[in-house]
Structure formats: C-alpha cells, structure tokens
Chains A and B, each alone.
Chain A
Amino acid sequence: MHPGKTRARIAIVGLFLTVLFLGDRLMARAVDAVFMRTKFRYPMLYAGELPADIVFLGNSRALHMFHCPAVRETTGLRAANIGFNGLPTIAMAPLWHDYLEHHAPPALLVLEVSCVGREDEDGALERFTTCMRHSDEIASQIARRNRLVYSASQLSHLYRYNSELTWRSLFFLRNSDQDWIMEGQVDRSEAEELTDADVPSLLRSADNVAAFQRIIDGAAAHGVEVRLVHAPYLTEYRRHLHDAPTWTNWLQSELEHPILDYTDAIVDPTSFADPIHLNAGGARQLAIRMARDGVLPSQDD
C-alpha cells in the first residue's frame, strides 16, 4: 500500500477517535449543565438548593409518604425529600453525605426503614451514574458494586447520563419535583385478593443495616436528630406482612435506635395510591398525625 495512503488512513482514525473523545466530554458537560438547571431533587441537592429543616430519605415509600408540601403546611418548616423510587439503601448513605456537604445540617432527618428489608433492584444503583460527576461517594459505590458500569462511565462520560434520572429531570425544567406524589386510589378489589405470596417478607441484610448505621452516625456527627419510621401499609397488605413486628424489633436492636411504628397509622383505603404508597390525601393525614405525635417538630419548637 502507498505510504501516503496509510498515513492518511491513520490520520482519519486518529481524527475519528479525537472527535469521538472530545465530543463525548463536551456533550456530557452540556447534558450535565441541563441536568443541573432542572428542579429535580438531585441536581438541586448538588447545587445546594434544597435547604431544609426536615429531610426525608428512603425509597419510593419515603417519596410517597412524606410529601413536602403537606409537611410544610403542617409544621411550618422547610422540608426536603431526597428519597427516590427503588433507591437502594447502599446509595442512601452517599446521598445523605452529599446533602450535608452542600447544605447546612437540618434539624431532623426522617428515615423510612422498610427499604432496609428490600433487596436492591437490578440496576437501581447504576441509575445514579448521572450524579457521578458531583459525588465521589456515589462513584466509589458504583465502582465497588458494578465494575463494568463504572468502567463504561469512565470511558464515556455521556454514558453516565444514560439513566432514568436524566430523563426524569427533564420533566422538572421549571417546577420542583418536591411536590411529586402518586395520584389516584388503590383498587380495593385487587387489594382484597392479595395473598401471602404477593407480599414479600422483609429481608435482614447486613449491608443495608451497615448503610443505615452510616447515615445515623453521619447525622449524629453533624448534630442532626434522626427519627426512624416504619411507614403505613394498606390494611389488606399489612395483614399478609406477618414478620413486620419481629423484623422491626430486629432492626431496632441492630441499629440501637428506636423505630416509630406507623404501619397501621392510616386505615382509610382511599388514602392509598397502591398497597404500599399513600396518595396526596394520605400523606397529609400522615404528616398531621406525625406532627401531633411530636415526631415532626413544629415552627414553635
């Protein structure tokens, strides 16, 4: 082959790789800039725009149980919810750490505990590659748990934004997602047909307990009071969750921290969006109940 041709081809390959690399980095920056401009909870967390007196953390149960507008209305205090659907317990500690890094410590942290008894959904942690640029803690968790995804995120920064979080953030370009809650009411007939097989028992995971312990310790170090809450279930669901009391006792002794049992606090089925999540009305009732019990402070406190 003609040496000139070979050189030209090497140059084309080199140019291609350069364009690919630079484009990847530049576009990742651009996507990140868009992500950070949204009013979605995690960009706001990393931008330090979620100052609060009360912070809620957990998976979808925390997300749909502790409704910030209802808490604000009931307590008169600023509230922020940094929980998320399917949020793995192991990702909660880094998020809490990052919250403290970007905000003044709140007065109270409320943790919904049922996530400790759940197995992490496949790929749940990997959704947080979107936050890797802003959180070394998240990055190291991903590196530890999924080497392949971590390597891919290092190779392509665009790949980090290939996540539900990025797409969801686009829904909140203007309005905050802190008032996000499920609408509608649970289908009673379906709920009545629930059997033991439909209700997974609560697991006893040492990893999840350790992650929770880190959150509690981190809060204590910053003088933040922690309340652990086992949030309500629909009565028809709770009836099949046979191990809930013993599991709560077990977790209480593992963490050496009291757990407030609200599993039967809401009995009105119209307050539930589905068997394990409240709707807006239910969340308001729960906030009032928790404030009345002194679990949530009021402005006067």
Chain B
Amino acid sequence: MVFNSIPFLVFFTIFFPLYALSKGRLRLMLCSIASYVFYGWWDYRFTTLLLWSTMVDYVVGRLLEGARQPKMRRALLWCSVVSNLGVLAVFKYFDFFAENVQRVAAQLGVTVDWPTLHLVLPVGISFYTFQTLSYTIDVYRQRLPAERDLWRFATFVAFFPQLVAGPIVRAHDFLPQLARDREITWDGIVEGFGLVLLGFFKKVVVADSVAIVVDHFFGAPQTYTSLNAMIVVVLYAFQIYGDFSGYSDIAIGLGRMMGFALPRNFQFPYFANSFSEFWRRWHISLSTWLRDYLYIPLGGNRSGTVATYRNLMLTMVLGGLWHGAHWTFILWGTIHGILLTLQRWATPRTEFKSSSQSSAAAFLGSALFQLGRMAIVFVIVCLTWVMFRRHPVGDSLIIYARIASLDDFSPGALQDRIPLVKGCALVSILFIGEAVSQHANHLPCVWHHPLAKIMAYACLLWSIALFGTFAGNAFIYFQF
C-alpha cells in the first residue's frame, strides 16, 4: 500500500481511531497486525519474510541475553547476520552476481551455467533487514537488553509508517517508545498532520510532476540539447529528494500523530557545502547506520590516513550496493567514496583564509566562499544522481556527453516545455521553502501562531489540489 493512494487513506482512517481508542497490549497488537496488512497489500507472501526476520532476531536476541560464552555469542550473531543478509542476498543480489560471474567466465572462455532466480524484490527489504540487524548487533554488544515481548518486537520491525522506506529506526530509540502507550496529543496530531501534508506536497506536487519530464529524458537522452539535459538533471535531483524526503516526512508525521518520535532523515541536503556534510544531511538514518555498523567497526578514522580512506571507500561502495544490485549503484557509491576521500585530503588545504582588514569584507568573502562550495557540491551531487537511475552505465555516459557538448542553449529547443516549466516552478517553490525553513528558528513568532499554521496547511492542501500529480506513482526508494 503506498501512502499516496486511496486504499491507504481508507486504511489510516479506519486504523487511527481504533489505535486511539485501544490501550496497552491491544494497541500493540493492533499496530502490529495493521503493519502486516499494510505490507501484505503488495503481496501477502512478502509478510512471511518479514515474519521470518522478526522471529530470527527475536529468538537470537533472547538467546544472546542468556549466552555468556563469547564463542556462543558470536555464533548467535552470525546466525542473525547470515539469516538477514542471506534473505537479502537471495532476493536482491543473487541474479546480479550470477549474471556477472557468467559474464566474466564467458570472457575467460569458461561456461558457467548458474541459474538465475528472477525473484520479485520484496518492497523495503533492505530497510527492515538493516533495522533488525542493528538490534541484534546492539544486543550482542550489550548496549541493549533483549526484547522479551514478541508483539513489541514485531511492531518495532514492522511499524508501518517507516517499514518500507525508513527512516531506519534504532532499537534503543524505538523499543522504549513501544514499552508504554504513547499519548496522542493535540500538538502531536497538528504537527504530524503538517508533516504529512508537507510530505505529500514534496511527493505528489514536486517529485511526481518532475517525473514526467525526467522519464522522457532518460528514455531518449541523446535527443536532448545540452541546456535541456542540464535542467532535467537538476530536476531529477529534486525528484529524488522530493520523493524520498516526502516519504520520510509522511512517515515521521504519521508516527507523530500516533505519539511516536521517529528520527529525522533529511536536513536540507542540497544546502550542504561539503560532501561529508551532504551525507550528514541526506538519508541520515542510513548514513548513521553505515557509520555505526560498518565504518567505525572497520576502524573508522582511527587507524591512519590510508586505512581511513579505505574505510570510507568500502562504506560508500557498500552503501551504493545497498541501494540496488546494479553497476550504476556501485559506481554511484564509488564516486561518492572518492569525493569524500578527496575532500578529506583537500580540506586542510582549501579552508577560507581571510586576509581582509574589515570584518564586513571578511564576512562577505566567507559567505561567497561558502556559497561557491555549496554550488559546487550541489552540481557534483546532481551529476552523480545520473548514475542513480537504474539504466545501463553507457546511458549515463550519453547524458554526461550531452551536458558537456554545450551545443544548444536556445530555449526554443527545450522538450516537454509545459511540464518542464511546471517542474521548474514547483522545484523553485520547494527550494525557497527549504531555504526559509532552514532558518525557521529565526522567523518571527507570528509564524508559530495557530493562524499561521492554518494558512500554511491550507496552502499545502491547495497546492496539492492544484499542482499534484495523482498517478499513484510508487516511491523511488521502495525498490531498495
């Protein structure tokens, strides 16, 4: 079930009053069952995977708590890792590796006849797998007691607002929230509703409107002029952002309405002025997961310069692979790894050093320097998103070639002019909104008045009605 669909609207309209009226165990059970209904709406068979993941980590968690011998504890941890990553490997990566092994073998003149499974990728599998895995690792590290209540644990794994595309919640944050009934408050409903509206705005108004132009472009990039390609690549960056951060906003908003605090997943990433800052602002729950469960265990930045670069590269390549079994994702992760490594190497050499005498000139110089960095980071991030599209690597090269050709800058040569103008207008609105929101704390208090909220929410709803694209497009990150 996708958020931007009638079935979800009906589902939540029935679910929420029942949730609000129920208490204690009944509420937990309701939440858990509703999450399975939500997930099973795609394909009821997928729920068995969810149940398997839940049961394995619940049992391993309980056993880990009782186990004292390090060997035994390690064996249990491996049990969970193999089970979780095994499911992921079979459903997500098996065909990719099988095909590539066959291709390499063929190049070497060897025939390898491995079957490919052609399995349908269960939605959100990478998200909940990482979520349950982190629980088991935390219990293993004795940073968290094992959860004894199966219903509570099942709800932690399957909590529907964030089940299929995050934010990835940590057990130590979320399980305590499930330990007692969350209070449904007026403020929570108002704030949550606002976030849901904002999420819908980003998804159906910005991302889905832009998708029309982007899909045409990726279908035949060679027919586009340089200017056209540049514009669409920027729009694509906002499509991905609107789509994914929109989903996160809806998830956090629904959680808030239900009384939960889900972690923030985006923090104005396109205003980052370095690549490391971009990753602190983009898909924060995954970035921090990779940092805590991969980068730091690999040694982080504690083992010397070369090892730090190696760890960065490994983390980003695997982060790329997490997104999908496709060479473009691996390349995308690799490029970001290289960018982070280069930045780490170059940072001490490129800091802005003011030699001006007046403080105003120093401020201006620093501001321009930051703005320049922001623009460079944004442009490079946009260019790397081209790889993010699941298409042959050669297609990305065609797009880069079109952009680099600088062949035609006449507005008359732009394709899909109406959706292009609409997309640019809506992206500009989002961009300005984000720029203002970045400084929300500095806004005059009139903005926090209930009347201002009423107007803001009404504006979002009017925009959705007037500009929304209601084709029921799935969220991009569902495929991961």
Contacts and interface: CB of A to CB of B under 8 A. Distances in A.
Contacts of B419: 167
A158 B458 contact: no
Interface residues of B, number: 18
A167 B458 contact: no
Contacts of B432: none
A27 B462 contact: yes
A16 interface: yes
B179 interface: no
Contact of B465 (A15, A159, A164): A159
A28 to B, nearest CB: 9
Given A12-B450, A164-B418, A167-B421, A31 B455 contact: no
B455 A161 contact: no
A24 B465 contact: yes
Interface string A148-176: 10000000101101101001100100000
Nearest to B467: A162
A190 to B, nearest CB: 11
Contacts of B462: 20, 23-24, 27, 158
A161 B419 CA distance: 15
B418 A16 contact: no
A52 to B, nearest CB: 26
A23 B458 contact: yes
A16 B467 CA distance: 21
User: Taking chain B's interface residues, is the majority helix, strand, or loop, or is none over half, making it mixed?
Assistant: helix
B325 interface: no
A16 B454 CA distance: 6
Contacts of A164: 418
B186 A158 contact: no
Nearest to A149: B470
Categorize the interface residue count of chain A.
20 to 34
Interface string A123-163: 00000000000000000000000001000000010110110
Contacts of B120: none
Contacts of A15: 454
Interface in B438-480: 450, 454-455, 457-458, 461-462, 465-468
B466 A158 contact: yes
Given A9-B186, A19-B454, A19-B458, A167 B466 contact: no
Task: Kindly name the residue among B417, B457, B458 whose own CB sees the greatest number of chain A CB atoms within 10 A.
Answer: B458
B291 interface: no
B418 A171 contact: yes
B414 to A, nearest CB: 13
Contacts of B421: 167
Contacts of A167: 418-419, 421-422
A161 B457 contact: no
Given A19-B458, A167-B421, A162 B186 contact: no
Contacts of A148: 6
User: Taking chain A's interface residues, is the majority helix, strand, or loop, or is none over half, making it mixed?
Assistant: helix
A12 B454 contact: yes
Contacts of A23: 458, 462
Interface string A32-69: 00000000000000000000000000000000000000
B418 A158 contact: no
A19 B455 contact: yes
A31 B461 contact: no
A16 B452 CA distance: 11
B458 A20 contact: yes
A161 B464 CA distance: 12
Nearest to A156: B465
Nearest to B469: A162
B426 to A, nearest CB: 11
A16 B468 contact: no
Contacts of A159: 465-466
B418 A162 contact: no
Contacts of B455: 19
A23 B459 CA distance: 9
B466 A31 contact: yes
B458 A16 contact: yes
A162 B450 contact: no
Nearest to A31: B466
B460 to A, nearest CB: 10
A16 B78 CA distance: 54
Nearest to A164: B418
B465 A158 contact: yes
A199 B309 CA distance: 56
B467 A168 contact: no
B458 A161 contact: no
Contacts of A20: 458, 461-462
A5 to B, nearest CB: 8
A182 to B, nearest CB: 13
A16 B418 CA distance: 33
A19 B456 CA distance: 11
A187 to B, nearest CB: 10
Nearest to A159: B465
A168 B418 contact: yes
A23 B455 CA distance: 10
Task: Kindly name the residue among B6, B422, B466, B468 whose own CB sees the greatest number of chain A CB atoms within 10 A.
Answer: B466
Contact of B466 (A19, A162, A168, A171): A162
30 contacts: A9-B186, A12-B450, A15-B454, A16-B454, A16-B457, A16-B458, A19-B454, A19-B455, A19-B458, A20-B461, A20-B462, A23-B458, A24-B465, A27-B462, A27-B466, A148-B6, A156-B465, A158-B465, A158-B466, A159-B466, A161-B466, A162-B465, A162-B466, A162-B467, A162-B468, A164-B418, A167-B418, A167-B422, A168-B418, A171-B417
Interface of B: 6, 186, 417-419, 421-422, 450, 454-455, 457-458, 461-462, 465-468
Given A9-B186, A167-B419, 7 more contacts: A12-B454, A20-B458, A20-B461, A27-B462, A156-B465, A158-B465, A167-B422
Which 5 A-B pairs have CB atoms at the shortest separation, nearest pair first?
Answer: A156-B465, A158-B465, A159-B465, A158-B466, A16-B454
